Amino acid sequence: MSHTNFNAASEREQAEMLRAIGAKHFDDLFACVPPEYQTDEFRLPPGRSELEMMQVLRGLASRNATRLINFCGGGFYDHFIPAAVDALASRGEFYTAYTPYQAEAAQGTLQAIYEYQTAITRLTGMDAANASLYDGGTALFEGVMMALRITGRNRVLVDQGVSPIYRTMLRSYTANLSIEYEELPLAGGRADRAAFRARLNRDVAAIVLQHPNFFGGVDDLSDLATAAREAGVLTMMSVYPIALGLLKTPGAMGADIVTGEGQSLGLPLSFGGPYLGFMAVRLAHVRKMPGRIVGAARDGQGRRGYVLTLQAREQHIRREKAMSNICTNEALCALRALIYLSLVGKQGLVEVARLCAARAAYARERLLAIPGVRPVFDVPFFNELALTLPRDASEVIRALIEQGIAAGFPVGRYYPGMENVLLLAFTEKRTKEEINTLAAKLEAVL
């Protein structure tokens, strides 16, 4: 109850409520808050007109450094978004719609989700996809929980090439669950085959890999998936969807559960989202998949229609038998991803991926020519490079921001001992001139 609502209650009602929770006064409820963070006044500024308010907000917004040349990656990428994505996704029929429980009144939304699921299965090489999840990290957690349900086991092996942000989320979500969780270090920039094989046994539910890995390394994980399958272990892969325009799909490598972050498919970079988690699985596991699934059916007259099917969350069936407590999906974000994929098309996605790879290859040549700069790993890569600098990467990033360049991600933030490692990403938006500018300014800073 808010302070306002509490004050509106009668004195008798207030006393009864406080007595029920063992408090004498309303202020007792805030005893855990340090005094310096408590106040009786909000110090709200005087009211403003709409014109004055917009002038203040524009002034605040102008303080954001939004004109930086962006070489940041690590799971979120600055890709080009065709204007038609905004134009179509912002139509009132879509952006005001909620969960399409009433199929007879939501055929358009249901069909869009159905087509999105189809696009994700084709992109990943898998059999079935759900109607989307919150983001890449929570999708990965849901995939792990799905593997535990399927196998009845409680041990998970996670490659340290998986995004450290996602691994932090996994540890947080599973901290109070009876799950044995082990992270295995990389071997030369790739998943350590010997370490994984040595730990595959009847207790392991899944191995969790990333494609490409956090350092940008590209690896054919087919052999690990085969070894896992022989031990009755499921293979989970977190993937970068744009990379699948060029690289072997997780389905072709033998993955059982595939998740990923869909931000690169038509969603702008924002401060924290909204983002899009996608999930695709083999048909044998579809009934254990969390979230919503849209299916196609025919009515009594043979007409094609779309409905929500296999809804296995706590709201629909008994709680202890629910697949997940996922309470919604990212339908508008999924719609943007569908529009983007439909606009660029199959060959267009290949071209986008080729441009990203070409920009990264050119950047590697230019940056490694700088004295003191060397690669962290000597492995194939897609569009991200991990470079060792002769100085702390965080200091270099700060210096380059002042010169108009967001130079990348300081790897030492999550990997102790790698404070001098800088992770850079290159998309189709980064020009040869911008890469040359990065190289020149980086050399000057170093």
- Please tell me which residue, 300 or 96, carries the higher pLDDT value: 300
Q: What pLDDT sits at residue 1?
A: 47
The per-residue pLDDT for range 248-303, each reduced to its tens digit, is 999 999 999 999 999 999 999 987 788 999 999 999 999 999 888 999 999 899 99
- Please tell me which residue, 11 or 128, carries the higher pLDDT value: 128
**C-alpha angle with apex 126: 123 to 131, nearest 5 degrees?**
75
Q: Which of 117, 124, 122, 75 is nearest to 258 (CA)?
A: 124
Model confidence at 319: pLDDT above 80: no
Question: pLDDT band at 186, cuts 50/70/90?
Answer: very high
- Burial-class residue 293 by CB neighbours within 10 Å (0-12, 13-18, 19+): buried
Preceding peptide of 35 cis, ω within 30°: no
Kindly report which listed range (149-153, 218-222, 319-323) carries the lowest average pLDDT score.
319-323
3-class SS shares of the chain: helix, strand, coil, % to 5: 45, 15, 40
Every domain range in the chain assigned CATH 3.90.1150.10: 69-78+346-445
What Rg do the C-alpha atoms of the chain give, in angstroms?
A: 25
Exposed e or buried b per residue across 435-446, where buried means at least 16 C-beta atoms within 10 angstroms of its C-beta: beebbebbeebe
Model confidence at 8: pLDDT above 60: no
Q: Per this entry, what is the length of the chain?
A: 446
Whether the model clears a pTM of 0.75, i.e. scores above it, the answer is yes
When pLDDT is averaged across residues 107-136 and rounded to a whole number, the result is 95
The per-residue pLDDT for range 423-445, each reduced to its tens digit, is 999 999 999 999 999 999 999 99
**Which tokens in the block code for residue 400?**
């380059």
Average confidence score pLDDT of the chain: 92
Q: Which of 75, 204, 212, 385 is nearest to 195 (CA)?
A: 204
When pLDDT is averaged across residues 313-332 and rounded to a whole number, the result is 69
Q: What pLDDT sits at residue 314?
A: 53
φ and ψ of 318, to 5 deg: -55, 140
How far apart, in Å, are the Cα atoms of 126 and each of 123, 140, 250, 252, 285?
8, 16, 8, 8, 11
Model confidence at 236: pLDDT above 60: yes
CATH code of the region 83-340 = 3.40.640.10
Question: pLDDT band at 101, cuts 50/70/90?
Answer: confident
Residue 109: helix, strand or coil by DSSP?
A: helix
- Please tell me which residue, 329 or 359, carries the higher pLDDT value: 359
When pLDDT is averaged across residues 209-227 and rounded to a whole number, the result is 98
Query: Residues 361-364: contacts with CB within 8 Å, 24+ apart?
Result: 362/432, 362/435, 363/424, 363/426, 363/430, 363/435, 363/438, 363/439
Q: What pLDDT sits at residue 100?
A: 79
Model confidence at 312: pLDDT above 80: no
Model confidence at 12: pLDDT above 80: yes
Question: pLDDT band at 11, cuts 50/70/90?
Answer: confident
When pLDDT is averaged across residues 324-353 and rounded to a whole number, the result is 91
Every domain range in the chain assigned CATH 3.40.640.10: 83-340
For domain 69-78+346-445, the CATH architecture is Alpha-Beta Complex (3.90)
The per-residue pLDDT for range 352-411, each reduced to its tens digit, is 999 999 999 999 999 999 999 999 999 999 999 999 999 999 999 999 999 999 999 999
Secondary structure, 3-state, 215-258:
CCECCCCHHHHHHHHHCCCEEEEEECHHHHHCCCCHHHHCCCEE
